[in-house]
Amino acid sequence: MIIALTGTIGSGKGEVAKYVEQKGFQYLVYSDVLREIAKQKGIEPTRQNLHKLGGAIKEKVHDPGYLSKQLLKKITKEHAVVDGVRNVGEIEELKKSGDAYIIGITAPQRLRFLRLRKRKREGDPLTFPEFKRIDNIENRGRTKGQEINACLKHADYMIANNKGVRELHQKVDEILRSIAQKRQA
């Protein structure tokens, strides 16, 4: 079984992935595939460079599901959680496995910016106007390979992550129970 996470920047995808990993799932991140390629090519792995690289690769191979194919090859456990689905082609490729469930995660823009400020990840925007600009571009599909709003429309489950971590974990547990029931039916 594959749990795939999509959502807006700073919405809590990483927190959900870490929580699901604690339940025995293998944890894979889309951007790690791009980081590996960037390292081989001597490209600095900034957010902007990884986006450009991902778009260029998908364009070169004419396959919007290319990154999903690469991640699927890395799955070694019965259950995996993959973090960072960014286009519908990636979702379609995961769904071909027959046992993939897409969880969309959202949160208000201001709250997501505050979360980014706390996590202090390299390449994250430092000001709210810069964050809004990047967020709006990624969500609306204005850059190659970045179609977050379209991905959210294809989600099997949605989480509005606008409260605390405890509530987020409860929502994830509810979804995992729902998936388990579907798989048993």
3-state secondary structure 27-77: EEEHHHHHHHHHHHHCCCCCHHHHHHHHHHHHHHHCCCCHHHHHHHHHCCC
CATH superfamily of 2-176: P-loop containing nucleotide triphosphate hydrolases (3.40.50.300)
The closest alpha carbon to 14, from 84, 91, 67, 79, belongs to 84
DSSP string, 124-163: --SSHHHHHHHHHHHHHT-BTTB-HHHHHHT-SEEEE--S
What are the structural domain ranges in the chain? 2-176
Tens digit of pLDDT for each residue in 36-80?
888 999 998 887 788 788 778 877 887 888 889 999 999 999 999
Q: What is the pTM of this model?
A: 0.89
Of the two residues 138 and 150, the one the predictor is more confident about is: 150
Which pLDDT score, from 0 to 100, does residue 101 have?
98
25 pLDDT higher than 80: yes
The closest alpha carbon to 67, from 91, 33, 102, belongs to 33
The pLDDT-based confidence of 145 (bands split at 50, 70, 90) is: low
Structural tokens at position 1: 């079984």
Tens digit of pLDDT for each residue in 90-142?
999 999 999 999 999 999 999 999 998 888 777 788 899 999 988 887 776 55
